[in-house]
Amino acid sequence: MISEQIEQFQHMKKNMTRLMLMYKFALAELETKIEILQEEFLMIHDYNPIEHINSRLKAPESILGKLNRKSKGISVESIRENVRDIAGMRVICSFISDIYQIFEMLESQSDLKILEVKDYIQQPKKNGYKSLHLLIEIPVFMTDCKELVTVEVQIRTIAMDFWASLEHKIFYKYDQFVPERLLIELKEAADSAFALDQKMERLHNEVKIIKDENKYETVDELTKLMIKNQHGTIPTAFLEMLDKV
């Protein structure tokens, strides 16, 4: 009897380890995709819409706790079906328009499937929370099969993240009554952060127009290449070929 229990525990441990690895690999794949977009933007478009990326894996204890709260059975199948935020990623952008641009770029990748979109920017939560939430399905190739793994992605601006982080810190592990005046002030702070987002984006667009109108590169600047801190120069023979076209 004891040996059977030990065997069952070892089997469950092996399956749980495999499950957590799948979600870890899915996060790594998605992070690589976003880093590629980030570097291409910087090198080709001379602009980086992504400030930084954070990712996390939910701890096994938290996963089991969520199953218990939902009164669901404890198994790998139950976890995959009922806990959809095991792998989470937060992408912090400079401006509101960057959020939707990143979303469109992820949506266009053929190996990714957008399962769910919750736009809390167009329709904020009652407390003022704003962010774009995506549930993305990513193929992960294990040694013996392909697994489709879901990752929850939140895309927001610096201002949105600032408000959300402090709101979370203020109410962390506090589920008691909150005075109405404090909720009103938090909502006003969220509105102020959004107004700042809109103002900074307008200024950014105006400066971009001015820069584009005055953009000029010398021949030396045009022939220089720099990829990942490695400097190079376009060969003269290549430039001569362009002259003949």
* Nearest of 111, 112, 132 to residue 121 by alpha carbon: 132
The backbone torsions φ and ψ at residue 121, rounded to the nearest 5 degrees and listed phi first, read -90, -45
31 assigned to active site: no
What is the DSSP code string of 135-199?
EEEEEEE-SS-EEEEEEEEEEEEHHHHHHHHHHHHHHTT--S---HHHHHHHHHHHHHHHHHHHH
Query: Strand pairing of 113-119 and 230-233?
Result: unpaired
Catalytic residue among 104, 152, 188, 201: 152
- E-only strand ranges, 64-163: 87-93, 113-119, 132-141, 146-157
Measured CA to CA, the distance from residue 31 to residue 25 in angstroms comes to 10
CB atoms within 10 A of CB 127: 14
* The total number of residues written for the chain in this structure: 245
Q: How far apart are CA 125 and CA 121, in angstroms?
A: 9
- Tell me if 156 sits within 8 A of 164, measured CB to CB: yes
Q: Which residues are catalytic?
A: 152
